[in-house]
Amino acid sequence: MSRIENRFVELRARKRKALIPYITAGDPALSTSLSLMHVMVDAGADILELGVPFSDPMADGPVIQAGYERALKHHVSLAHVLALVAEFRKTDTTTPVVLMGYLNPIEIMGYQRFAHEAAEAGVDGVLTVDLPPEEAHELIAALQPVQLDPIFLIAPTSHARRIALVSQVASGFVYYVSLKGVTGAHSLDVTSVADKLAEIRQHTTLPIGVGFGIKDAATAARIARIADAVVVGSALVRCIELNIEQEARMQSDIAGLLNAMREAMDESR
């Protein structure tokens, strides 16, 4: 059983939904990211999602794009991100870590080498936003032997055949993009999300995480009532952006937001 699967089993036993925060690795520095990973776990995070910096993040909005740019100023690479996870694992061996990013850095490293080094570092899942499941066979073949979960996106426009295909090849959880467009968008329609989740559940028994457009505790609670996991990204990266020179305040703001989300999600049960 993977760390991700085990975490969802634990959460179901406690009748609790997963809180999955996202930050970009190396934004604004790798040492800051390491501290924030521990801060987020202490604030109630169940699974961590780390963005791998990339120069052309086409699925991301301006807030996360700026986070990538800050990390790339320090030349943060995929190898640095794996080293960051390995450092985190020295003191946290239980919190699952998912890498979220784009295919190019993985292709450059090579699928087999990436899978081996990611597993050695303590990564648990991989989400490549620009790799459709129809073209993911080679990467999946590299991930599965080292027990890394391939995670895929389902969009509001995904048809039944695409949902069925994702359900066949994914493991860990399925990530539902609650809005059309890029990360950081708004106008979340929870009723529409609930309808789509019902459709997805006709094809899979995997947990379903919902991300994009979740910025505050109230929205997190509403999504927690219908999904298995709540993913928050842009709101956290915005906290980093606003406190670049004040790391203590950055940590406090991120912890405060996650604590509020965790409390609201638990109260919504």
Catalytic residues: 49, 60
Backbone dihedral region of 44: left (phi > 0), alpha (psi from -120 to 50 degrees) or beta? left
Tell me which residue has tokens 């379903």.
208
Q: Are the C-beta atoms of 17 and 11 separated by less than 8 Å?
A: yes
3-state secondary structure of 19: strand
Backbone dihedral region of 121: left (phi > 0), alpha (psi from -120 to 50 degrees) or beta? alpha
Cβ count within 10 A of residue 180: 11
- Per-residue 3-state assignment (H helix, E strand, C coil) for 187-243: CCCHHHHHHHHHHHCCCCCCCEEEECCCCCHHHHHHHHCCCCEEEECHHHHHHHHHC
Q: Crossing angle, helix 217-224 and helix 247-267, to 10 degrees?
A: 40
- What values do phi and psi take at 38, rounded to 5? -70, -40
